[in-house]
Amino acid sequence: MAAFLIADVAVPDMQAYADSGYLEAVPGIAAQFGGTYRARGGAFDVLEGDWQPVRMVIIEFPDMERLRQFYDSEDYRPYRDIRQRLTESKIIALDGLAGPIDP
């Protein structure tokens, strides 16, 4: 069953973030683990509640095991460190549905 990495990332200095190589390198690393970006910093509307996300990222993986392999990988580790140093991030891993929800 699919799993989703969902991140809300506040980037105080987008130039430093871009210069770090993170934005170019990480999609390829995620792809090595079957990751597909579904959203990356696009426009959004808050429909309910007081949550004010800053920059949303959603990456779909084939399953939770592959998501964790990506997140814990040697290839991603230096970029995870960069992201943690240059941003304020909230990240969750969410299991997808095994099948459609019956109406």
Average pLDDT of the residues in 22-29? 98
pLDDT band at 102 (very low <50, low <70, confident <90, very high): confident
Beta strands in 1-103 (DSSP E): 3-10, 36-40, 56-61, 88-95
Domains and CATH numbers, the chain: 3-46+53-95 (3.30.70.100)
Q: Does the pLDDT value for residue 72 go beyond 90?
A: yes
pLDDT of residue 100: 86
Per-residue pLDDT tens digits for 76-98: 999 999 999 999 999 999 999 98
The answer to whether 6 and 56 have CB atoms below 8 angstroms apart is yes
Q: Does the pLDDT value for residue 103 go beyond 90?
A: no
| pTM, two decimal places | 0.93
